[in-house]
Structure 1
Amino acid sequence: MTRLLVTGGAGFIGSNFVHHVIAHTEHQVTVLDKLTYAGNRASLAGLPDDRVTFVQGDIADAALVDELTSRADAVVHYAAESHNDNSLHDPRPFLDTNIVGTYTLLEAARRHDVRFHHISTDEVYGDLELDDPQRFTETTPYSPSSPYSSTKAGSDLLVRAWVRSFGVRATISNCSNNYGPYQHVEKFIPRQITNVIRGIRPKLYGAGENVRDWIHADDHSSAVMAILDRGTIGETYLIGADGEKNNRQVVEQILELMDQPQDAYEHVTDRAGHDLRYAIDSTKLRTELGWMPQYGDFTRGLAATIDWYRAHEDWWAPSKDATEAFYAGKGQ
């Protein structure tokens, strides 16, 4: 039986992964999470106590990380500061968590010879022109554009260096934009869904032409499991579900699925340095590891996500008012 240490396992993508592991394997899971504003203990509610252990702590705490890693067979590293707007406001936490935290985990994995998988983002590659026929691949040069994406790029390079220099048994995955349950209401899709539930008009940055390649968090989780089980040490795998949509299309689809007029939204001040387009080519993952997304239809995944937020207002309501007040202060 495999013992997994999942960092950031009370965050959005990490908690979805923990739920996926419990539903589809017999693994034991220890979650290490600092419980910043983006982590929520309630995201792990209902999971069996005999299989999931929660530890509140910082991935930059070397002694704690060493102790937990010594008892694990594999580390799955989701923990990250990940919001672009926040990185523009205060970059320092992104350095502390994404760079120093990743270094601390890699050193522990090195000492204890523990399998390591590093979760990263497609934003390390920069952005594409809206009419560019190309997609990101594993060989696309890095070109990050924000403190968030640059620190994630740095953490990827640390992992590659520890594989080559020290023989750490690590893999990397870079994923496109996730959506699904347990995502903080500051993020684009849950913010618009919860606005409609509250009777507030959704907000659209600029003209809404920025394109993202959306993937349901369940599909991200199954891809990570495939990499853990069958991935080649030292390799990078891009995870995507061919879900390219521009932000205007997403808002209009949310409104349509929630029985609102498709034009019932407001344009707000665009984000500084807002990347134009991300697009993932996940051919390597699909051909080498045999992975396929279950939510190939974005509309079906979005409808399921809307249903989840409607049914779990107790989960997102406590942070909604503060989030909207913050954005109102920025004219967004």
Structure 2
Amino acid sequence: MRLLEGIESGEIKTGSGKNQMSTLKRASDTRWSSFFSTVVSLIKLFSVVIDVLEFVRENGNREQRGEALLLLKGLQCFDTAFSLHLMKHILGITHELSQALQKKDQDIVNAMQAVQIAKQRLQKFRDSGWDNLLEEIALFCSKMNINVSDMNDIYVSVGRPRRNVERNTNLHRYKLQELNSRFNEVNTELLLCVACLSPIDAFSSFDKRKLLRLAEFYPVEFSSIEIDLLDNQLESYIIDMTSHQGFLNLSGLTDLATQMVKYKKHRLYSLVYRLITLALISPIATATVEHTISAMKNVNN
């Protein structure tokens, strides 16, 4: 009934073909961009999901009624509403970046502009998006008959007595802890360091300091002595690369690695080549690893 009412009022858009919103979308284990569609879909059809669970609670068998009751309890709370809308914004901001990084032929360096844009938007959302987010969540909770937490009240974790918790308010919990914990600066730094390996535009992105920092991310692969050797090797490497005709007009790290092997440079600059191969097999640098993991999961199953 709620689904029909939503369609008639225009609140739920059915669309056509791939644009249909009449069913919940399943998230893929290795496709992060799919989670955005899943979250948006769940928010749009939230009332319908609640209706279905209430029907199962009243008409299902004993096991189904128990599961439905637990799901209803978990869904119809402020924590769930907050998490859904927070992740909708975050996944929406990073949606284009996720799609770019999922392409098998996508060089991470070519996606750095998208990384920078996403980073700036995430910072803006963190700094000035709280009021709009809370207003959006409050409106959603009002429609779904969910109690909105008072941001000035003391936050109490489910199942923990009030006397045993730290005296933090809901504002501290949701805005300062929950919102800030979604942003990881380490991955961003790693991406920016990898970008310095780019051969595009005559190695214009080369930055020895950041490449040494990149090596520090792999302590198992690079000892402290090897990092010192890498420091010296990078000096010769960049002079050789920018003066060699075989390394002009390269389009990415894959081309760079191929040409280094072709001209035997991988032996001369073995530590630099090690950095390049680590970047190429890194899950943040290519989707190939994710596809391989997915295939292995199917084999294991």
* Same fold at TM > 0.5: no
Q: Which has the higher helix share?
A: 2
**How does the TM-score come out when normalised to structure 2?**
0.27
**How does the TM-score come out when normalised to structure 1?**
0.25
- Bigger relative contact order, structure 1 or 2, given CA contacts below 8 A and separation 6+? 1
- Please tell me whether Structure 1 or Structure 2 has the larger radius of gyration of its CA atoms: 2
Q: Which has the higher strand share?
A: 1
